[in-house]
Structure 1
């Protein structure tokens, strides 16, 4: 039985979410983004302000994974931000687990919560944008049933660094 609980985030969770986001991004993007750029874009203070605002305005909706009263992961999800998508298309805006909790079911618990939330919102499909060089994230999404849409590959600028991303999608039925 998993000790991981998932619940809606509160404003009190913003600092812990920012810490998880920072530590997971540092680990996930090591070798993808140059180290100096990675450190420069990994300000927990900026991330905390972003997640406080997201939680406050529910855009995106944010859920946290809790283990022993500690935030060990989070997911942000809502309608797709991509232009010209159907209103029934949702998007995983961000999904991160603390690196010390990788491969322990945190991501799956968060994905399950996001899927439920998107279905409740009337979504029938969901997408996620993932850097092509982030093999861990690609494997996670593909294990969750997402398929790559290679025709969507694009270059995104993250912290001043160009990163190739691809959209993944899956049905919520």
Structure 2
């Protein structure tokens, strides 16, 4: 039994979601991005994005709380990838404060996203993960995702090129 409670995000959560996003991204991308790019991962640069996502449910956002404090979040919806069927969902983002890593928060958030995607009629779900983010790849593989190696792509994060791979699994 987890002490973490997961619920749909509310507008008042947008600042906390931005803070989790910034803290987790800085920790996750250490060694992948230059120091100046890590410093630029500030909550102020993300709050408006998450406020809009929460307001319009695009993506749907759920937060994980411990003792009333937001410690993680997941954003999920239909796949944004071209030529995917309408039954394909996507984890757009999943982040947990580093001090809560390996404590079951990610699993609780994944469970909430899976249930939400199932309610939306999705039968498969994908997630894009940087190839060098071993922790994120391991998390998703433990959750049953499999790498789709022919989907590798290069994206730009603050001017730095990052190689990503798509992972996929059944929603059920």
Q: How does 1:1-173 map to 2 (within 5 A)?
A: 1-40=1-40, 42-173=41-172
Q: TM-score, normalised by structure 2?
A: 0.99
Tell me the CA shift for residue 172 of structure 1. Answer: 1.2
Matches of 1:86 and 1:98, distance apart in 2: 33
Matches of 1:63 and 1:159, distance apart in 2: 26
Is the CA contact 2:18–2:43 (under 8 Å) kept in the aligned structure 1?
Answer: yes
Matches of 1:26 and 1:13, distance apart in 2: 20
Runs of at least 4 residues off by over 3 Å: none
Is the CA contact 2:19–2:42 (under 8 Å) kept in the aligned structure 1?
Answer: no
- What is the count of residue pairs matched by the alignment? 172
CA-based RMSD: 0.6
Unpaired runs of at least 5, structure 1? none
Tell me the CA shift for residue 45 of structure 1. Answer: 1.1
Tell me the CA shift for residue 43 of structure 1. Answer: 2.3
**Which secondary structure state, in structure 1, belongs to the residue aligned with residue 46 of structure 2?**
helix
Q: TM-score, normalised by structure 1?
A: 0.98
Unpaired runs of at least 5, structure 2? none
